[in-house]
Amino acid sequence: MVRVLIFSRNWKFGAFLKALLESRLDKDVEVEFVTSLNGLRNAMRILSPSLLVVNCESLTPEDTEWIESATALVKVIAICGWGDRVPKNVELLKKPLTYGEIAEKIVENIREHLGNC
């Protein structure tokens, strides 16, 4: 089972991206999303995801620091726009990609991960 965790302080974006990914992925991939740093910490511990997708919109310095430390445990993909706080050591998807393009890039990463298992 591959688990993908989405961290987005914008719950509408997180829910939309979760639904979009679920519609494009096999049933053996589980997608969850959280909207707070505390939720992220708990989900990382409980779910042990294979991939962390971060929406950089509205990240706090504490969020960024924690995400940077998480790169030692999990592959991180960051979706960032102009002016967003960007964590270090992450794969970066820069806006203005469409939601479909963002989903395809994430799906490619998941399939690549499945091929390496």
CA gap 103, 7 in Å, rounded? 15
Mean pLDDT of the chain: 88
β-bridge partners, 3:
30
- Token pair for residue 9? 């302080």
CA gap 66, 64 in Å, rounded? 5
Work out whether the CA dihedral 41, 43, 45, 49 comes out positive or negative.
negative
Report whether 57 contacts 13 (CB < 8 A). Answer: yes
Q: Name the residue type at position 72.
A: A
Q: Note the pLDDT of residue 86.
A: 83
For 33-72, how does the pLDDT look when each residue is reduced to its tens digit (9 = 90+)?
999 999 999 999 999 999 999 999 889 999 999 999 999 9
Long-range contacts for 60-63 (Cβ within 8 Å, ≥24 apart)? 60/85, 61/85, 62/37, 63/7, 63/9, 63/37
CATH fourth-level superfamily of 2-116: Response regulator (3.40.50.2300)
- Asked whether residue 3 carries a pLDDT value surpassing 70, the answer given is yes
pTM: 0.88
pLDDT grade, residue 107 (50/70/90)? confident
Domain layout of the chain by residue ranges = 2-116
Q: Note the pLDDT of residue 52.
A: 94
What is the average pLDDT across 66-92?
87
